Amino acid sequence: MMLTMDEILTLLSKQGFKVTEQRKFLIELFINNENYLTAKDVYKKMSYKYSGLSFDTVYRNLRLMKEIGVIEQFVFEDGIKFKIRCEDDSHHHHLICLECEKTYSINYCPVQYVPELPDEFQIVNHKFELYGFCKECQN
């Protein structure tokens, strides 16, 4: 189950951010869309409703939603895309189909198996995604 609009709005206000109509619309885009969206996709969809909207405003709001944990950012070969955060709030990673963009969670962390990190290197964050083709798209 993904985050609800009410949960996201509560998260925004608890952290001191304004709940604007544009932010509500942006959140609805992600809640109502199962696919990954680029910043350009979001800008196009939002500019139909908000004629004076700038791309910078969209990108700042995407970055804000990412920082507070509402959306996740993924790097595809054709650019950066965003998607509503997984329902699994625990630390996990992803398998992503390049054809249909179906996403599967990997419920363990392979970083623990990285041999011999350089001395005194402290990991503070990481992402691990594997890209390929799901069973349906291989056919």
Residue 112 clears pLDDT 80, i.e. is over it:
no
Greater confidence, 86 or 75? 75
pLDDT at 14: 92
> Helix, strand, coil % (nearest 5) of the chain?
40, 20, 45
* Percentage, residues of the chain above pLDDT 90: 49
User: Each residue of 20-34: pLDDT tens digit?
Assistant: 999 999 999 999 988
Answer yes or no: CATH 3.40.50 is held by domain 93-138: no
Q: What is the mean pLDDT of residues 44-55?
A: 94
Q: What secondary structure letter does DSSP report for 23?
A: H
Where in the sequence of the chain do the CATH 1.10.10.10 domains occur? 5-84
pTM for this model (two decimals) = 0.79
Residue 1 clears pLDDT 60, i.e. is over it:
no
pLDDT at 88: 63
How far is residue 48 CA from its own chain's centroid? 22
- If we measure between CA atoms, which residue out of 78, 71, 134, 126 comes closest to residue 101? 134
pLDDT at 56: 95
Where in the sequence of the chain do the CATH 3.30.1490 domains occur? 93-138
pLDDT at 114: 77
pLDDT-based confidence at residue 89 (cuts at 50, 70, 90): low
pLDDT at 20: 93
CATH topology for 5-84? Arc Repressor Mutant, subunit A (1.10.10)
